[in-house]
A and B are shown apart, each in its own frame.
Chain A
């Protein structure tokens, strides 16, 4: 690439922003007895380092599962172990069994932040760069601008470097998976995606599109010939990578069952805290969480999720293409987020990742979505004391997107990829020509609402009777947005991806 230096500069900007955000507070800073996700990650280092593998997921006298017990798949545990070895070199107090509980210091914060930074630098960022470099029909400047916008996406930065998590690892592996699968390195792609699932079980949100896309590819090649061979190869890769990841737990059957129980805690309820999904929003009107029995809730959420992602998945299986794959990733992840059981507010990042990938195709809607997704996590971010970095990174991100893609000029039917849909609508209702204008007005309205709600939340105290009023409002409004986006993306998948000639040029 002739402009490697601009790409380097863009990456450095992304890294600088990441590190400056990391200077801020983290979740549960100075809040005993439970602290927050930061302490959870530190605690996992302590547990994995001091206890034998067989005890990691079990409640023992040395491992109180009520206190941030390990509830992520084995790869996370291995990562914690690796970090713990480094921590041991620097200061053994950080991971001393029992006594290190709730350990906080400036040096330790620096260490923890560095682990996130290193993981991000090794896994997520190279994937983003490679993805942008491989974009087709895009000028060099377009690729660089695209990389800038993806790297500046505030949601991921704020959660990883502010709140404290390692989402960049799982999302990075998923992105490697997307890269591999869309460029016909199917085995590498499936391997990367298996690693992603084994790092964080939430990656299952992305698993159906991967499955359907790969299956579709096999169908396309003919199930009786090459397709079958490919299928076998993929199955072997997946099984082998899973076995590798779970090797230490194969000693006993009880081990595997316990890990699975930890990974899918059905008894934790339909949703937690305030999530911008259907169930939480619906809960405002009707307390379904308390009225319905647990197993009905599970079945209900399963049915809704399944129904909402079915059309896109079927379509992808029969017409597999990298573009359709990306859109299906979006719609499936969004369906899971909106309807599935036990969703966290941070899970919206799983939807944001595929949205980042279509940033250059539908810049207007993608930017809008990415802003809303960050906004939906505002209650969490405010709780962590991240108001300033949130506001600043969101504004910086909007400026970056607005300048790179001139989003406000890309709102014609063609550019919103609604051409086919509106043509078919016009067959019945010839006067429907105002879709883009409506979307534009909706955008303005939504931005105003988001800004106002942010201002109100920050400045006003909620009424005493309704202490959660503002956070519920934020979730409710974000949920409405997400429903709209779900409909929109399903329309695109059903109508516009019918044929490949709608590929439009960027810049």
Chain B
């Protein structure tokens, strides 16, 4: 893993940063792990002990295989290493098995596959040019970006405490972005296609890829005013792109097509039976919508506008259940969320098509796609915010405006991950790591852009500082009050709504900056 460091100028620091965070990950091995640990153990067992034809049918455990085929193959390969650690974990019927060797194996597999992420970060840092390069190492954009990515709080707690394999997947995504920046479009497209077949959540950002490749790669030239020159369309490029995507998909889905299992695979990948929101509301538009509904129903009851008998049981006392029933506002269907998401994505995609800005424009569009899907998607997990935070890190070291949006988004997004870790021994870890990342990101970006106007206005400052009291109330005061029994879900609801405000604000601000900043940015570029 030391290899990536040797490439850059005086690249010692990069390997030190990467190794440092790797050691931290190793120290996190004995921490709490969620049911996702069992999910992945079960997948190891399924892929190891069953033929391919049964992978997507096996249902002994409730945690059935619901990732695309490449991920299943990835687990298959891992399982062949796992058998040297502990054979018992590869038994499908051995539910909730977690011997110390199993733990060691699974944790270290996450840590080792993160090597790809480290490499991708190294590649991304290459094209962050040192225009503003200060002599101080700690004030170089490259350095700051590496810390922001390698030591990302969300990735650390989701992968290395909660347990998931996001590291190498985000590695693939960052690597494909880096390739697009390096004008190696085919490679970038290939990596993204592979990524999609590892985890389909990355479909959220697929529109950005599709439009960008079509517009800036398949059309080889623009008119002087920047609009599209239709006759510059290159068939060879389209065909090669199509071929790559087709081959990757064939490799992934082909075997299941041959087995005539595609419908089963897709039914596993896209379960629409789940509710609008996760048990803990992801801090998005629907959290605000639900909260508004609550408030309206309470007001309605107070003003006697609503009949108490007609209100469904799932009021504040029973807390947040999977199927949330709205009392005042209309209920939301999957189709409605899909339409909302599409409408939210459209302007950014249009922008990418009509006013291409090169790779940076693509990156903005990608972040907007990720954020919009997060805002309006059906059954969104709070972890999905990482999909916006990590690419946004790349933008943050470039412009003061982006840095300010990044900081609001990241701080609230990371804070909204707090409910993932609810056990007492992990409480100090999450607070310390959060402080570590937040203090570093805010201070280093402030130092980087110290010559420009302040990054936050008073309102944003006030909002971000409010996260502190919120945490104190939710985790230090609330458990000792009598409300704990009456409203057990109160802290989750507060966290979710408070963070939803910040994330919506960041989303809105980013949209505004993308739609308005265009001409200015353009003249700068030329």
Contacts and interface: CB of A to CB of B under 8 A. Distances in A.
Does more than half of chain A's interface fall in helix, strand or loop, or is it mixed? helix
A12 interface: yes
B20 A400 contact: yes
B315 to A, nearest CB: 34
A16 B439 contact: no
Nearest to B444: A5
A52 to B, nearest CB: 33
A403 B12 CA distance: 7
B138 A141 contact: yes
B520 interface: no
A12 B138 contact: no
A13 interface: yes
Nearest to B447: A5
Nearest to A396: B23
Interface of B: 12-13, 16, 19-20, 23-24, 26-31, 136-138, 424-425, 428-429, 432-433, 435-436, 439-440, 443-444, 447
Contacts of B440: 5, 9
A117 B427 CA distance: 14
A486 B436 CA distance: 39
Nearest to B426: A23
24 contacts: A5-B440, A5-B443, A5-B447, A9-B439, A12-B433, A16-B436, A17-B24, A19-B428, A20-B27, A20-B28, A23-B31, A23-B425, A106-B425, A117-B428, A389-B27, A392-B23, A395-B23, A396-B19, A396-B20, A396-B23, A399-B20, A399-B23, A403-B12, A403-B13
Given A6-B138, A20-B31, A110 B19 contact: no
Contacts of A396: 19-20, 23-24
Nearest to A109: B425
A393 interface: yes
Contact of B27 (A3, A9, A21, A403): A21
Contacts of B439: 5, 8-9, 12
Does more than half of chain B's interface fall in helix, strand or loop, or is it mixed? helix
A24 interface: yes
Contact of B432 (A19, A395, A403): A19
Q: Which 3 A-B pairs have the closest CB atoms?
A: A5-B443, A20-B27, A396-B23
B101 to A, nearest CB: 13
Interface in A1-60: 3, 5-6, 8-9, 12-13, 15-17, 19-21, 23-24
Contacts of A117: 428
A483 to B, nearest CB: 31
A24 B138 contact: no
A110 B425 contact: yes
Given A5-B444, A12-B436, A110 B424 contact: yes
A6 B147 CA distance: 12
Contact of B24 (A20, A23, A141, A388): A20
A141 B23 CA distance: 22
Nearest to B2: A399
B28 A403 contact: no
B13 A16 contact: no
Contact of A17 (B27, B30, B31, B137): B27
Given A3-B138, A12-B436, A400-B16, 13 more contacts: A8-B439, A16-B433, A23-B30, A117-B428, A141-B136, A141-B137, A392-B27, A393-B23, A395-B19, A396-B19, A396-B23, A399-B19, A403-B16
Contacts of B424: 107, 110
Contacts of B435: 12
A496 to B, nearest CB: 29
A489 B413 CA distance: 52
A16 B429 CA distance: 6
A393 B20 CA distance: 10
Which of B23, B138, B436 has its CB near the most chain A CB atoms (within 10 A)? B23
A159 to B, nearest CB: 16
A16 B432 contact: yes
B30 A24 contact: yes
Contacts of A23: 30-31, 425
Interface string A73-112: 0000000000000000000000000000000001100100
Contacts of A20: 24, 27-28, 30-31, 429
Interface string A378-410: 000000000011001101100110110010000
